Amino acid sequence: MAQCAQSVQEFIQDSFVPMVSVLCSEDAERVTRKNNLSFPELLRPFCRLTSEGHLRDPNNQVVVVKGLRISVTGVNTRSPNSGEVRKLLSQAVSGCQPPEGLPANVITAGDYDLNISDRSVKASVPWYSDWKEMLTQLSSSKYYTATTPWFEAYRENFLQSMPASDHEFLNHYLACMLVVSSREAVPTEQFLKLSQEQHRIQHSGEYTYPKWFIPNTLKYYVLLHDISDGDEQRADSVYEDMKQRYGTQGCYLLKINSRTGAAGPDEQMPDPWSQYLQKTNIHSPYEEGVLNNVENNISSEVDGLDLSDVVSEIHPLKLEQSADPGFPGNPSKAVNSADTARTQKQGSVTPGAAPTAHGACLTLNDHDRIRQFIQEFTFRGLLPHIEKNIRQLNDQLVSRKGLSRSLFSATKKWFGGGKVPEKSIAELKNTAGLLYPPEAPELQIRKMADLCFLVQHYELAYSCYHTAKKDFLSDQAMLYAAGSLEMAAVSAFLQSGAPRPYPAHYMETAIQTYRDVCKNMVLAERCALLSAEVLKSQAKYSDAATLLIKMTSEDSDLRSALLLEQAAHCFINMRSPMVRKFAFHMILSGHRYSKAGQKRHALRCYCQAMQVYKGKGWTLAEDHINFTIGRQSFTLRQPENAVAAFRHILINDSKQTATQQSAFLREYLYVYKSLSQPSNEGSLPQLPLPCVHSAQTRVFFGHEPRLAEGEKQAATHVWLDQEFDQEQAQLWAELEEQVVAVANRGSVHISFQPTQYCLSSHTENLRYPFAVVEEPMFVEVVFRNPLKVPLVLSDLSLLWKFTTKDFSKPQGGTTGETITNEKEAAAGKATALNDIISTEVIPEFTVGLEETKVARLKLLPHKTGELHVLGIVYNLGTREEDNSASEASQLMFVRGRQDLEIQGPRLNVTKEEKTSVRHGPDRRLDPIITPPMPLLEVFFINFPTGLLCGEIRKAWVEFVNVSAVPLAGLRVASTHPEFFTFGSATADLTPVTPTAAEHCSAYKTMVTPPSDAAVTLVSPAAFGITGDNRPTVVEIPLTGGVLGPGEALQIPLWLRGPDREGVHEISFLFYYEGLEKNAKLGHRVLRHKAVICASRSLSVRATACRSNTLPGRGKRDEREEERSGSMLVFVDVENINTSEAGVREFHIVQVSSSSRQWRLHKCINPAGDKDSKLASRERGKLCFRATRCRTQEATSDALEKYTFADLNLGNEQIVSSTTPCADFFFRRGPPSEPRKGGVITVGGLLRRQSLTPANSTDDSMTSIVRKCSEVELDIIVLWKAYVVEDNKQLILEGQLHVALQTIGKEACSLSQKEEAQEMVLLKFKPDLPPPASRPSLEQLSHLIKTCLHYPESYDHPFPQKSLCMVPVTLTLSNCSLAQVDVIIDLRHKTTSPESLEVHGSFTWLGQTQYKLQLRPQEVHGLSLKACFFQAGVYNLGTPRVFAKLAQSGTMCETSQQSAMPALIIINSV
């Protein structure tokens, strides 16, 4: 609420005060002029009486007059015309701004805390005050009520400038002071002259103004004596003379100017005048004019009152001419009107004029004298005069009181007396209704009422007003009636004793009448102001608010603004504060203020309203307010606030339409431009748009990737286009660790960190990254445009700070000075420092509407040191849709910057970090520029994208050192080492060019007809295989170990299609280092990711069987071989290629074996030289015989060697023991068994732990048993595929590996372990071990190999001899390496019915059961005899063989596999 400094009573009393005019002689005026004051001005500060006055009312009751104030003005002080009033009022309002730096007034209303004071301008702007600040303000400030001094100033000025009107007498002159200087030659004459003058003014009828209260105005004669200048004796004598003439009560000798000469400057005198005289405006007209110009530019909406025009209009010179004819134009006019002229002048005083000191010649004694004078005048002169007049009027009225009211009016009708208002005369009828002649009795009552009111006799005044009101109403004199109503209400309110309820309806009627009937807004306004004040004092805020709101109208913006503001304050002051209404009316008020040209007030209003709207989701309203605040701030030259406000509109996800947003943006740019222009040389302003997602900033070190050049395909490496993938990053890091471990001979430094080329929010950015000098770095900045308007960024470049450092020197090198390109960038010369760091400038970068876009900005450092990327600098602009305004829009951009500040991840290690929110550093933008390092580029030539499974393809790889530093230690690590090989050391690296080698086979071949296997012995070490694990890191041989600057190396590369079909991602990590150790960067890596699509080719299944053939029939050496064991290997090959086009058929060209113990010996099934052809979905079966290697018992060195045996089916033998066949063999995936074990490590471990010593025998037995059935033979199937592609026939080659491990168990080239793995559950409980620890029955059944030797057919003459006896030898062969007990049971067990059916029965003769013990690998022949009774076909395979290991205590014998039917034909002869 607008709380006034004074109480309501005081305010109303002061609104209506006795008016005293002054007529001053020229000499007297001169005396006062010494003090820079006119006579009325001189008196003004002392016009309030401090002591009580007394007078008697007509009933002889003493009335106490307290705190009376009189108003002294020059006689011809004209009330300013409406234009001037407006100007005056607007000056008063604009001159009265909320004081700066007072404690904030916070009103708590509901859940809102409103800050209503000057600081609210700042505090309420949402981006300025955070909540915390608000709270501290709230707690630190006491409860203040808002004051609106501008409103009071307005009200005071308004009431003072009220023109005197005929219907009321309150501001008519009651008395006139005639002032004459004592220096006058004949003062009395002068008095006479002035007196006549006064009379002439009042009674000649020449002047309608000023108005006089009563015909015989009190004249008060004042002799003004200048002590410093005049003769005091003479003055006294003149005064004596005056006393004689006018009586002691009618004259006064006022002595002033007692100070002689110039006062000491150190002497401090109070200047009571300053606050009464017109204050000079806060802003000079000049400034205001400038502002207006600016404002006209920016907005067409805000025009309002152009003060510069007003100022020129009331130029002092003009004032003289435009003297109102209604005013006295007497000789003394120039002097007396100086009062007004002066106020005008002061209003338009130029800023250059020094403020004038008032009362320079007055001492404190003089002040007292003036005060004394006023008191004397009031109590001796004015009050008795008033008292007398009241009595007189009362007497007149009482004399008529006898007549009844009706009669009174009747006489009026009958006689048509002069007192009767001339209703019939049209010209006298004004808008207010009627005009009474001055002597009309109704007016007399009103006059008396006014007099009583002025001397604070409110009771009498009320009754008089009441009577007058009735009279006026009955006469339909509406203006008069309204005036009486108004005053009746006011006096009723002011009555202190028996309080009458305040008749609010009187006021309402009065206002309505004034406004609607009389069309007198000024009076209506006065009435409303009074009423509102009264209502407020009675806490009827809602009524007051309604009243005030009703008074707003189109005709005066200033008034409407002030009243709306007051209404708003009423709302907030209600018992349940209506905050939103407050805010709304503040906005209305702000709007009116701005229309009235009161920009500061407008801004204040909007800011206060903002407090309610901000952050509550009412975005449309919020945007509107922000926009207005922005505009107002701008016109008030607070561009920072303006920018902040506009920024707020733009940043928020605004729901405005696109056109609105573009308007906002344009305005913002305009404001910004004007803001940034003066501070061009300083630092650049921060721009709010587009939004930069700092955290998503990515940094990349290195060159932009090259596109493929013809057949050359560059390594993919790392680039910003690749999304970050945690798994991939992990994979690369592991690869790098592996290769580093290899490079450092097995050890990885503890502080090893994988090289990161691309830093993003996903990577760990705790350490300063390294960038290499003369190699570019890219910073990818993510922009988001929240607007529906496209934004155009031009001249976009990075801002950086750089400290040169020479790292080659010891101890970190010397630190140079820090250089930054901020200044250059600000000036638009971002490339100025290109000799240190080349900064790439993007000329134009458009971010579309609501788009998120990345910009890649390049820096190329030329010196070593520490670089810090600070931010980005750019011109922000927008593009117009229409090209017509292109000229203007092109200029519409501002240069600014945005900082890239990246907050690191939240720390969460220590307790402190957990309990508080702390963030680690993020140094991705602060790279260290290191000395030059080698830089490798890798190209692949003829690198395929699709391969058949197992296909072998030769490609070329080129290594280029593109740096100026030699490169060494080139290695490559891969996730799929089985996929490629560079060839073994033994292979001749004949530098065949890739083109020449196009049609050659990848294999090394020899023309040989199919025959027995060619055998080669190869050590795996030759292929770089050491130990069991596959090599993941391969060293690439460089000539001389170094790749010089600019040198290129081309070497062949063999690829083998992955065994499993599908798309394979194969990662290569090339590792290299510089010749000299760089402290910062030890090594560098290059990544490549190849994508290979593998399609199905052949499926190979192989089984090994123990051959049952008996030794002894072949040659000696064969026998030897037989003795050591032989196997049959069955290979099932199926063409499972599904691609309908392309592959025609597969040819099995060769089958090779590779093993340490076994080798393929002979091809059994496809005899001859025809290779087996497999069309689509065909299946072929191959059969081979395998034998143990002869060299098995040779040196231990040979044990490590692999025997490669080639069985070619065609004419060409592929030397499988060389590159690439052997390479791929050694790089093949590990056999499925160990890997399977690896998967269930948990179980395996536990199992091992649970193994007790008691079980050890069991275990060893198992191993023995297992070993006997173990076979370690790898089959390599080499094939050729005929493919038609683009009408060209191509021959593709490939190889498939099958690892045979157990006899009788089928192995497959496509291992099915996938499914098996998926099904494995992770078990945390140990499995019960028995099934594994005990050799399974199946395993045991392979311990002994049995073979029956007998003649195939046997002729026997049954008629001669009924019994036929056939010798049969049962050969038992111990396959195991342990002693085995064997039991042979010959008793017939015709368990299976079929055997009975098919074969007739025969019997074994002799011993039916044999017990034997076989030494390891012993072959034992057992002679048996079978006895047949008749001719037929018999199955001899009935003997059952049980075997058990000799050591095992328990009899765990098992029946060996029942041999296949051994049929014998017994012929009867």
Partner 1 sequence: MAVCVAVIAKENYPLYIRSVPSQSELKFHYTVHTSLDVVEEKISTAGKAMAEQRELYLGLLYPTEDYKVYGYVTNSKVKFVIVVDSSNTSLRDNEIRSMFRKLHNSFTDVMCNPFYNPGDPIQSRAFDSMVSAMMVQSS
Give the CA distances from residue 242 to residues 40, 186, 250, 259, in Å, rounded to whole numbers and listed in that order. Answer: 22, 12, 9, 26
Q: Which is nearer to partner 1, 577 or 690 (CB)?
A: 577
Q: Which is nearer to partner 1, 393 or 568 (CB)?
A: 568
Cβ distance to partner 1 smaller for residue 162 or 602: 602
* Nearest to partner 1 of 581, 599 (CB atom): 581
Tokens of 514: 């004034």
Q: Which amino acid is at 1346?
A: T
| Token pair for 889 | 């829009």
Q: Toward partner 1, which CB reaches closer, 16 or 613?
A: 613
Smallest separation, CB 126 to partner 1 (Å) = 15
- With a CB cutoff of 8 Å and minimum separation 6, the contacts of 1124 are 1187, 1188, 1192
Closest approach of Cβ 619 to partner 1, in Å?
9
Closest CA to 1002 of 1209, 1276, 1291: 1291
Nearer to partner 1, 472 or 571 (CB): 571
CB of 566 to partner 1, least distance (A): 17
* Stretch of 66-74, 618-626, 752-760, 1136-1144 contacting partner 1, by CB under 8 A: 618-626
Distance in Å, CB of 151 to partner 1, minimum: 22
| Cα–Cα distance measured from residue 1163 to residue 1167, given in angstroms and rounded to the nearest whole number | 7
Q: What is the dihedral angle through the alpha carbons of 418, 421, 427, 432, rounded to the nearest 10 degrees? A: 150
For residue 1231, say if its preceding peptide bond is cis, omega within 30 degrees of 0. no
Contact 1002, 1293 (CB under 8 A): yes
Separation of first and last alpha carbons in the chain:
142
- Residue (448 or 587) nearer to partner 1, CB: 587
Least Cβ distance, residue 591 to partner 1 (angstroms): 11
- The site string for partner 1 over 347-386 (x = CB under 8 A, - otherwise) reads ----------------------------------------
Interaction with partner 1 in 829-888: which residues (CB under 8 A)?
Answer: none
Nearest residue (CB) to partner 1, 19 versus 583 = 583
Report the nearest approach of partner 1 to the CB of residue 612 (Å). 8
How many amino acids of this chain bind partner 1 (CB under 8 A)?
17
Least distance (Å) between residue 281 CB and partner 1: 33
Q: Which stretch binds partner 1 (CB under 8 A): 6-14, 615-623, 1119-1127, 1406-1414?
A: 615-623
Q: Whole-number minimum distance, CB 614 to partner 1, in Å?
A: 11
Q: Dihedrals φ, ψ of 888, to 5°? A: -70, -40
**Smallest gap from residue 773 Cβ to partner 1 (A):** 53
Token pair 């638009």 is found at 828
Quick one: 580 or 1096, whose CB is closer to partner 1?
A: 580
Residues 553-612 that bind partner 1 (CB under 8 A): 571, 576, 578-581, 583-584, 587
- Considering beta carbons, is residue 620 or 891 the nearer one to partner 1? 620
Stretch touching partner 1 by CB under 8 A, among 303-311, 620-628, 1087-1095, 1333-1341: 620-628
Q: Binding to partner 1 by residue 616, rule CB under 8 A?
A: yes
- Applying CB under 8 A, which part among 617-625, 810-818, 862-870, 1397-1405 lies near partner 1? 617-625
Distance (Å, rounded) from C-alpha 69 to C-alpha 16? Answer: 9
Helix and strand totals (H; E) in the chain: 43, 57
For residues 584 and 668, which CB has a smaller minimum distance to partner 1 in the complex? 584
Closer residue to partner 1, CB minimum distance, 621 or 869: 621
Q: Which is nearer to partner 1, 657 or 1165 (CB)?
A: 657
Q: What mask of x and - would describe binding to partner 1 in positions 57 to 96, judged by CB under 8 A?
A: ----------------------------------------
Q: Residue 217: CB partners within 8 Å, gap ≥ 6?
A: 173, 174, 175, 176, 198, 202
Shortest spacing between CB 65 and partner 1, in angstroms: 44
Q: How far apart are CA 120 and CA 105, in angstroms?
A: 8
Q: Which is nearer to partner 1, 580 or 863 (CB)?
A: 580
Token reading at 70: 């009189």
Closer CB to partner 1, 662 or 713, in the complex: 662
Binding mask 624-643 for partner 1 (x = CB under 8 A): x-------------------
- Whether the CB-CB separation of 921 and 766 falls below 8 Å is answered with yes
Closest contact distance (angstroms) between CB of 857 and partner 1 is 37
User: Measured in whole angstroms, how far is the alpha carbon of residue 1125 from the centre of its chain?
Assistant: 77
Helix residue spans in 968-1020 (DSSP H) = none
Nearest approach in angstroms of CB 447 to partner 1 is: 41
Write the interaction track for partner 1 spanning residues 1141-1180; mark x where CB under 8 A is met and - where it is not: ----------------------------------------
In the complex with partner 1, which residue's Cβ is closer, 621 or 789?
Answer: 621
Residue 585 Cβ vs partner 1, minimum distance, rounded to whole Å: 8
Q: For the chain, what's the residue count?
A: 1469
Q: How far apart are CA 1138 and CA 1176, in angstroms?
A: 8
Minimum gap (Å) between residue 571 Cβ and partner 1: 7
The Cα 1436–Cα 1399 span in angstroms is 9
In angstroms, the CA 687 to CA 647 distance is 8
CA distance 158 to 291: 27
Closest approach, Cβ 561 to partner 1, in A, equals: 17
Candidate residues 151, 212, 213, 613; the one interacting with partner 1 per rule CB under 8 A: 613
Shortest Cβ 543–partner 1 spacing (Å): 15
Rank residues 168 and 622 by Cβ distance to partner 1 and give the closer one. 622
Residues 484-523 that bind partner 1 (CB under 8 A): none
Burial class, 1438, CB count within 10 angstroms (exposed 0-12 / middle 13-18 / buried 19+): buried
CA-based nearest residue to 171, from 451, 532, 439: 451
- Phi and psi at residue 1080, to the nearest 5°: -85, -45
**From candidates 408, 618, 752, 768, binder to partner 1 by CB under 8 A:** 618
DSSP three-state, residue 1017: strand
Least distance (Å) between residue 580 CB and partner 1: 4
**Residue 1304: left if φ>0, alpha if ψ -120 to 50, beta else—which one?**
left
- Longest Cα pair distance anywhere in the chain, in angstroms? 202
Query: Backbone phi, then psi, for 955, in 5-degree steps?
Result: -135, 175
User: 620 in helix, strand or coil?
Assistant: helix
Q: Is the sign of the CA dihedral 448, 452, 454, 459 positive or negative?
A: negative
Compute the distance between CA of residue 1053 and CA of residue 949 in angstroms, rounded to an integer.
17
d(CA 1051, CA 989): 8
Q: Nearer Cβ to partner 1, position 584 or 1442?
A: 584
Measured from the CB of residue 589, what is the shortest distance to partner 1 in angstroms?
13
Report the distance separating Cα 1334 and Cα 1340, nearest Å: 10
H-helix or E-strand spanning residue 441: helix 441-454
The residues near 828 (Cβ < 8 Å, ≥ 6 apart) are: 795, 895
Within 89-148, the residues that bind partner 1 by CB under 8 A are: 110
3-state class (DSSP) for residue 110 = coil
Span from 74-82, 614-622, 832-840, 947-955 in contact with partner 1 (CB under 8 A): 614-622
| Binding residues vs partner 1 (CB under 8 A) | 110, 571, 576, 578-581, 583-584, 587, 613, 616-618, 620-621, 624
